[in-house]
Amino acid sequence: AILPADMTGADSNASFPAETCANCGAPLTDAYCPRCGQSRAELKRPIIGLFTEALDGVFTWDGRLLSTFRQLFSRPGQVAREFVDGRRRSYTPPIRLYLIVSLVFFAAMAISGIRIVAVNITADEAGEAGLFITLFQPPRDGAPVILSEEMQQQVLTQAEDNNISSQIQELVLLAMNNPDVVEERAAAAASQAMILMVFVFALLSAILHPRRRLIEHAVHALYFHAALLLPFAAIIISAIYLPLPLWAGIGLAVTTVLLMAGMILAFDRGFYGSSWLGGALRLLPLLLGYVTAAVFVALGLILFTAI
């Protein structure tokens, strides 16, 4: 007599249709590849899957980490492409890599003493007071200047005369009395602002490549920013601590913009398979949209998250 399949166990893998592993090409008969061990699960899942995957051992040393990071520069865009296409076993997942790189970025800022958001207060002998809040400044030389009540009122009066909102006036008052607190709060919020820029980049990419799934754009954006952050940190530290003449500072700024544009174009071609012309045509709106969003995110970081 022939027993039903569910009694013999002969068809215990019937729920898995015949296919091959996207990573190594071996025939699949179970939930994991028998040759390389990669999960059979495809990338066709909610975007939240990227975050739950990253939380699984995000701080565990991964032997693929250095190899993945190196290939972000030697094969821009192709790491994300292969990860999306299923060859994921060879690469550190995008969320995990981004989190590690962002931790290194903020550690570099802290060790170098660079203030991500800097509050600078001035007061001259004529009784004129000023308050300036800027990004990426060297450490403060000595204790912060604390204005007298009369000078603080002068600054607030000027703000009111210029129709500055009450919320910003509250920030100004806090910054005049506790500049270190404002800097610490804003620096703590900077990581959230950078994550927001990842989503902005993914959404801009989705607009320019509407036929792709959102999770693909998210993977692309995470790997792109993982490659971007450390060169960005090196440029910031160099610009602040190297004694550059004016022409060299301008050259560094131009080089930074060109580097950003080159990375966007290279990653676009590697991930989406764009032609040089197609990538160049999408470069300008993506770069302008990203820079514009960065300005608003920076303003939000300075004006609101520090309160």
- Residue whose C-alpha is closest to residue 241's, from 108, 134, 121: 108
Whether the pLDDT of residue 61 is over 60: the answer is no
d(CA 93, CA 294): 25
Angle 202-206-207 from CA coordinates, rounded to 5°: 120
Per-residue confidence (pLDDT) for residue 155, from 0 to 100: 83
Whether the pLDDT of residue 269 is over 90: the answer is yes
- The two beta strands, 115-123 and 27-28, are unpaired
d(CA 236, CA 238): 5
Burial class (CB in 10 A: 0-12, 13-18, 19+), 154: middle
Percentage of the chain surpassing pLDDT 90? 37
235 Cβ contact list (under 8 Å, min separation 6): 252, 256, 259
Residue 262, SS3?
helix
Neighbours of 68 (CB within 10 A): 21
Per-residue confidence (pLDDT) for residue 111, from 0 to 100: 93
Neighbours of 114 (CB within 10 A): 21
pTM for the whole structure: 0.76
Burial class (CB in 10 A: 0-12, 13-18, 19+), 118: buried
Whether the pLDDT of residue 202 is over 90: the answer is yes
| Average pLDDT of the residues in 284-293 | 93
